[in-house]
Structure 1
Amino acid sequence: MTDNQRTAIVTGGSRGIGRAAAERLAEDGQAVVIAYAGNDAGAREAVEAAERGGGRAVAVRADVADEEAVTALFDTAEQRFGGVDVVVHAAGVMRLAPLAELDLADLDAVHRTNVRGTFVVGREAARRVRRGGAIINFSTSVTRLNIPAYAAYAASKAAVEAISPILAKELRGRDITVNAVAPGPTATSLFLDGKSEELVERFAAQNPMERIGTPEDIAEVVSFLAGPGRWVNGQTVYANGGVA
């Protein structure tokens, strides 16, 4: 590792937006620690993709809501690459149902990963990210769109939008930025699963670009916030092609 190489931890890095972000950061020259919940094959593929681009990467299985697992994740980053400069917390789960029909076990699962996980990862990041670093959490444009059946998911991501600017202020004086990225409809399994082609087309028509986003669109925003975007801090960046 070169003396000036930065190291990023990317949770949810075995698929979707997390994987695209990990691959993009590797292309940008960062060593990448890919954290994943259970998709062993996807994690291996993500590491291989990062390495094909000339990057250095390792995969670590970790439950983001488990403080011991997250501590071990950061330990691995420090042991393998010397420290942590960027944390991209992309891990998340979604359960959809009208509020009157929502199974409270699903609510608890969403809360555990999306809210508790953000606290656990953010707490460790606040303790360990080096000066000049960046913490990037993930929200969703659904917090603005008020789509039926998304109440549990949107509520959990609204919590992320509350946590991020507070942490930014708590890190005053350390030259560490904290932001949230809020994608709109994006071509990942999290969004596409269970939706008809007609429904996906309706979502695509909602923004003036007339398409749904790609994981690479969102990874580009992550790359900016993880690198040159030093004057963007405490913000939620809506990456959604212009949907209201």
Structure 2
Amino acid sequence: MRVVRSLFKIIRVVALLLAAVVDWWVRRPRVGAEGAVWIHGWCRRIVKVVGVEWRVVGELPTCGAVVSNHLSYLDVLLYSAVRPFVMVAKSEVRGWPLFGWLTSRAGTVYVTRGGGPSTYPAVNAAMAEAYRSGLPVLFFPEGTTTDGAEVLPFRRGLFHSVLNEGVPLRVAALRYSLEDASGSVEEDVCWWGDALLAPHLWRLLGLRDVRAEICFGGEVAARRDRFVLSERAREAVGELYAGSEVAGEVELVEAF
């Protein structure tokens, strides 16, 4: 049954991506914030076809920067399904078939891993433009995906832009769970290490009852420098991810 389910879903996902391309050429939304709003609706459809049910806890961000832990390529689809964001992604994503083209239309800021200080001016300029879009800008400062065992130390580079632009910084945490006994969250939902994209996607699409919970926390107060800011942000994301946020301090926004 998993093989049949995977085949059926992948046909529907490809069909949706092709339909999105056609819709783009018909509507012609501008690249950037307008594109992010447009892609929001398509991400909701894609996540539904993939078979992920999601629940959002906390107040949705409306502007500024948002940082989150990072578990899978699925994270970007889920956050974009919740509300329009300007995303920050590794430069390799731009080359992914169809998906890379669509993310570019949404004004995604692409960052080259290990680019070093020579890339900072261009990245900071792109981030400043993203903040001016009027949408919240989401990035994953772990710099890689994980199996969910812990929140890795945050890379500090992108926190430069938060301080330079003086924008508020919110935290978020994403958790997956799985009722399907034939798979595991660590290997079949989280995408990390040396796992190849195509085989992992095939396994993911074969699963039933994949669930996600996105928790939005408050604003990180430390504003002195990027070292302090990144560490405070990591601590806050780690607390959200571990579920230590006091229940009375969060509001259930929507559940699916």
Question: Is the shorter-chain TM-score for this pair beyond 0.5, marking a shared fold?
Answer: no
**Which of 1 and 2 has higher RCO (CA within 8 Å, sep 6+)?**
2
- Give the TM-score range, shorter chain: 0.3 to 0.5
